[in-house]
Amino acid sequence: MSAAEQRSEPRVDGSLDDVIRNSELILTCGPGGVGKTTTAAALGVAAARAGRKTVVVTVDPARRLADALGLDGSVEADEPHRVKGVTKRTTDGELWALMLDAEQTFDRLVREQAGSRKQADAVLNNPVYQAISGSLSGAQEYMAVERLHQLHVSGDWDLVIVDTPPSRHAIDLLEAPDRLVGFLSHPVYRTLTVGQRTFAKITDAASSMFLWAVKRLAGPQIVEDTIEFFRSLANIEGGLRRRAKEVSRLLRGDLTSFVVVSSPRAEAVGEAEHLLDAIHEKGFPLGGLVVNLIHPLPIELSDDDVELLADLGDGPLADHLGWHRELTHLAQAERHEIQTLEKLAADATVIELPLLDVDIHDVPGLVDLADRLV
Amino acid sequence: MVVAGKGGVGSSTVAAAVALAAARDGADVLFISVDGRPGMGPLLGGREINDREQTLQRLDGGGKIRARTIPADQAFGDYLELKGVGGLLRRAASAASLPMIAAATPGLEHLLVLGKVKELEKDGRADLIVVDAPPAGHAAPFLRSASGLSDVVKSGPVLDQAREVSEMLADPQRCAALLVALPEETPITEVIELANDLGDDLGIALLPLVVNACWPDRTGLAKTPAMAARSHKLKLTDTAKTALESAAAFGRSRLEQQREQLDRLADERSEHVITLPRLATPRIDGDDLVELADALVEQGATKTPDADSEGADR
């Protein structure tokens, strides 16, 4: 690497080495479009090369990154697949990748919590369940943390890394288990599932109004299906509730690290700030902050050179000068934006990564990024 | 007009620039931020946007920009009222609360929001409605909610609503989508998929594709600083050469990637492509927005594929 290139590298403050060696769970979160999935994959590479058996759970990887992880269209969703080409030395661990399938995770959760196959089937075969398991608001977020829990307790893995779904309100993820409990505690839900045997016997005012409203709005069939669904869910409710609490506890435990990923653009910084605040406030363990996609800061021109190059007129050197000025301005403004984030990260590690010439979409690219992270 | 793009490509900023361009042209524009992201109101010259309609900016020539968000629960209440649903059902709905009803009818929240947009459009309350669609992976499910719901809900007003929203989305005289990307590999791949999804599958008319944040093409960068200096009859100091080259190396590779990706987009999609300049700031302000609006107008962003209709959502 030339001296010039070295000079234009952003500052690297620390390393996530400690996080990938000592955590059992890592969650990457942050605004969309900042390289969150790539960061999660690179942390996985780093952990595997540090000797740990690691699985990376992703939600919606860009296609070429998915290919690099061996998650192309031909593999089954929701099953871990070994990532090739990452671990070669005998001291290396293993890297596996898994594409989250919210519906399958939900199905598995229902089966685990049901007392019998019959109870499970009653939920799984309900048309309302089938419609909502993939699309219930917050279901994706909850299933991401639920899958994390499943993998964690399986005992198969030293480290589970979950790349959280893109969400402008990334807080949704942190509160997803609590929201499920809230849903199960809703008074209408309670009346619908407790006691009465038939729709006709439901006399509670709020609940009968609810059913009437759904019927008027969406037709009678969906009302029957909804009641059936809530009833069948009642059998597994205790389990769901316990599980949601366990997951919530796990997210706050010592073995978990949150890694917030952002870019230096103002809107991403705003969202990341919001997220860091929430992480502090709700007592989640912050492992580090990665600021990605930072423009390189060019070497400064000396005052003499600037004077020499004043009043150039048009021409190729004017292009050079204009570009140098613009890139310098942008790179400096970005560094200014990042300062706020650094303050909020407090004692956590901050890693600043340059905007690379090409997107990372192969294993060597991930290995290179892994080296920068640890 | 619906403006959509994956997270981080600047689709909200582009939506704001479109609103500004139309208002400068004398149009009465209603800007709808679906998720109410902060900062958009000030960017458009007013206060933060909330669920009550407010005028953000009046322009010379009679145009203006109004704005609001549409929270799903409010859309629900308005919808019931509109349908002449009496007090009892309205009370029932509020007793049950939207989340419970939404759980029973998936996609309902999106549909309610789109349904409200449809009502505003039908009333002719604005010359142009610009909808800043939800970001990240949510734009397609958002626009798909109408057709998705028809699979689950077999009767009742929700089905009617879904039908009417689908009709609006598929009518090029009333609605068109402006899709936004960045000149980088992954965003270009994703905008191609989004265009296939919304345009080809859902039948939504597509406006030109916008590639945001393109670096201006500086041909002089192809030369080394020393060579470039010779054409100006100048000799550079070694320090100046090193300094300029430290910026140029990065610039060349970005420009090359940008050209490749723009070519790929042109190969894959037949829509006209508009390139917006990359602004040398991480924080877009009102002046920057004017610059983007100028570029959009210059390159014909607000013309629908159907040359006779003006803009969208009239």
> Which DSSP string corresponds to B212-266?
EEEPP--GGGGS-HHHHHHHTT----HHHHHHHHHHHHHHHHHHHHHHHHHHHHH
Binning pLDDT at 50, 70 and 90, where does residue B314 land? very low
pLDDT at residue A106 in the model: 82
Q: What is the DSSP string of A75-103?
A: SPTTS-EEPTTS--STT--EEEEEE--HH
Contacts of B280 in chain A (CB under 8 A): 326-327, 329-330, 333
Per-residue confidence (pLDDT) for residue B100, from 0 to 100: 59
Residue A159 · residue A23 · CB < 8 Å: yes
Q: Are A161 and A52 in contact (CB under 8 A)?
A: no
Q: What is the spatial distance between Cα B106 and Cα B108, in angstroms, rounded to a whole number?
A: 5
3-state DSSP: chain B helix, strand, coil percent, rounded to 5? 55, 15, 35
Of A132, A186, A318, the CB nearest to B106: A132
Neighbours of A115 (CB within 10 A): 11
Return the pLDDT at A319. 93
Residue B303: band (very low, low, confident or very high) from pLDDT cuts 50, 70, 90: low
Residue of B nearest to A215 (CA): B156
Q: Which residues of B touch A3 (CB under 8 A)?
A: 242
- Tell me the per-residue pLDDT of A340-365, one tens digit each, with 9 for 90 and over: 888 888 788 899 999 876 677 788 88
User: What's the pLDDT at A196?
Assistant: 46
Q: Do B157 and A209 touch (CB under 8 A)?
A: no
Q: What tokens does B112 get?
A: 């309610």
Q: How far is A69 from chain B (nearest CA, A)?
A: 16
Nearest by CB to residue A167, choosing from B96, B136, B253, is B136
Query: Quick one: pLDDT at residue A6?
Result: 40
Question: What residues pair up with A291 in beta bridges, in sequence order?
Answer: A262, A352
B-interface mutation test, from A140, A217, A311, A332, most B Cβ less than 10 A away: A217
Are B9 and A293 contacting, i.e. CB atoms less than 8 angstroms apart?
no
Query: What is the pLDDT at residue B83?
Result: 67
Chain B residues in contact with A165 (beta carbon < 8 A):
137
**Is A148 in contact with A27 (CB distance < 8 Å)?**
yes
Predicted confidence at residue B107, as pLDDT, reads: 66
Total beta-carbon pairs less than 8 A apart between chain A and chain B? 259
Give the residue ranges of chain A where pLDDT is below 50. Answer: 1-12, 195-200
List Cα–Cα distances, B249 to A6, A57, A204, B242, in angstroms.
13, 36, 72, 11
Return the closest-CA partner of residue A54 out of A82, A79, A16.
A82
First and final CA of chain A: distance in angstroms?
A: 19
Contacts of A216 in chain B (CB under 8 A): 85, 89, 156-157
Mean pLDDT of B14-27: 94
CB contacts of B231 in chain A (<8 Å) are: 315-317
What is the pLDDT of chain B when averaged over all its residues? 84
Give per-residue pLDDT as tens, B87-146.
555 555 555 555 556 655 556 777 888 889 999 999 888 999 999 987 645 566 677 777
Q: What is the pLDDT of residue B309?
A: 34
Which chain A residues are within 8 Å of B242, Cβ to Cβ?
A: 3-4, 299
The interface pTM score, or ipTM, of the predicted complex is 0.82
Predicted pLDDT of residue B90: 59
Whether residues B250 and A131 touch (CB distance < 8 A) is answered with no
- Residue B304, pLDDT above cutoff 60: no
User: Rounded to two decimals, what is the model's pTM?
Assistant: 0.83
**A267 close contact with B: CB closer than 8 A:** yes
Contact between A218 and B158 using a beta-carbon 8 Å cutoff: yes
Tokens of B215: 């670096």
Of residues A127, A265, A320, nearest to B228 (C-beta): A320
Nearest to B251 among A270, A323, A359 (CB): A323
Q: Pairing between strand B54-58 and B128-132?
A: unpaired
Query: Hey, is A312 helix, strand or coil?
Result: coil
Do the Cβ atoms of A33 and B229 come within 8 Å? no
- Name the helix (H) or strand (E) containing B276: strand B273-277
**Using the beta-carbon criterion (under 8 Å), do A60 and B137 form an inter-chain contact?**
yes
